[in-house]
Amino acid sequence: MPFDQILRGECVETMRALPGGQVDCIFADPPYNLQLRGELRRPDESIVDGVDDSWDKFADYETYDRFTRDWLTEARRLLHKDGTIWVIGSYHNVFRLGAIMQDLGFWILNDIVWRKANPMPNFRGRRFTNAHETLIWAARGPASKYRFNYQAMKALNDDVQMRSDWYLPLCTGNERLKNAHGLKLHPTQKPESLLHRVLVASTQPEDLVLDPFCGSGTTPAMAKRLGRRFVAIERHPDYIAAAQERVDREVRLPDEQLAITPAKREAPRVPFGSFVERGALPAGTTLFDRQRRLRATVTPDGTLVSGAQRGSIHKLGAQLTNAPSCNGWTFWHFERDGVLTPIDILRTEADPLRAAG
Interacting stretch for DNA, rule CB under 7 A, among 6-14, 37-45, 216-224, 242-250? Answer: 37-45
Interacting stretch for a copy of itself, rule CB under 8 A, among 43-51, 187-195, 242-250, 308-316? Answer: 43-51
The binder of 96, among DNA, a copy of itself, none, by C-beta within 5 to 8 A per type, is a copy of itself
- The distance between the two most distant Cα atoms of the chain, rounded to a whole number of Å, is 87
Angle at 91 between CA 86 and CA 93, to 5 degrees: 65
Q: Does 269 engage in binding with DNA (CB under 7 A)?
A: yes
Among positions 3, 46, 249, 293, the unique one binding DNA when judged by CB under 7 A: 46
CB 304 within 8 A of CB 296: yes
The binder of 341, among DNA, a copy of itself, none, by C-beta within 5 to 8 A per type, is none
State the minimum distance, in angstroms, from the CB of residue 40 to DNA: 3
Q: Which residues of 128-155 are buried (b: 16+ CB within 10 A; e: fewer)?
A: eeeebbbbbbbbbeeebebbbbbbbbbb
Strand partners, 111: 136
Binders in 280-339 for DNA, by CB under 7 A: 311-315, 325-330
Among positions 2, 20, 284, 357, the unique one binding DNA when judged by CB under 7 A: 357
Q: Are β-strands 23-28 and 79-89 bridged in parallel, bridged antiparallel, or unpaired?
A: parallel
Helix axes 237-249, 218-225, angle to 10 degrees: 20
Angle at 321 between CA 316 and CA 326, to 5 degrees: 60
Q: How many residues of this chain bind DNA (CB under 7 A)? A: 86
Binders in 257-296 for a copy of itself, by CB under 8 A: none
Q: Does 55 engage in binding with a copy of itself (CB under 8 A)?
A: no
Backbone dihedral angles phi then psi of residue 95, each to the nearest 5 degrees: -70, -35
Binders in 128-167 for a copy of itself, by CB under 8 A: 128-132, 134, 136-137, 140-144, 148, 150-151, 153-154, 161-167
Closer residue to DNA (CB): 4 or 73? 73
Query: Quick one: which of 121, 109, 171 has its CA closest to 145?
Result: 109
CB 239 within 8 A of CB 220: no
Among positions 11, 25, 101, 243, the unique one binding a copy of itself when judged by CB under 8 A: 101
Interacting stretch for DNA, rule CB under 7 A, among 4-12, 173-181, 222-230, 231-239? Answer: 173-181
CA 98 to chain centre: 16
d(CA 189, CA 178): 11
State the minimum distance, in angstroms, from the CB of residue 160 to DNA: 4
Binders in 96-125 for DNA, by CB under 7 A: 102, 107-110, 117-125
Q: Does 31 engage in binding with a copy of itself (CB under 8 A)?
A: no
d(CA 112, CA 87): 10
d(CA 142, CA 74): 18
Q: Are β-strands 309-311 and 304-306 bridged in parallel, bridged antiparallel, or unpaired?
A: antiparallel
Q: Does 183 engage in binding with DNA (CB under 7 A)?
A: yes
State the minimum distance, in angstroms, from the CB of residue 40 to a copy of itself: 6
Among positions 4, 56, 250, 277, the unique one binding DNA when judged by CB under 7 A: 56
- Look at residue 295 and give its three-state secondary structure: strand
Closer residue to a copy of itself (CB): 113 or 350? 113
Closer residue to a copy of itself (CB): 129 or 179? 129
The binder of 255, among DNA, a copy of itself, none, by C-beta within 5 to 8 A per type, is none
State the minimum distance, in angstroms, from the CB of residue 314 to DNA: 4
The binder of 293, among a copy of itself, DNA, none, by C-beta within 5 to 8 A per type, is none
CB 257 within 8 A of CB 341: no
Binders in 327-356 for a copy of itself, by CB under 8 A: 356
d(CA 148, CA 199): 10
Binders in 223-252 for DNA, by CB under 7 A: none
Helix (H) or strand (E) segment spanning residue 26: strand 23-28
Q: Does 94 engage in binding with a copy of itself (CB under 8 A)?
A: yes
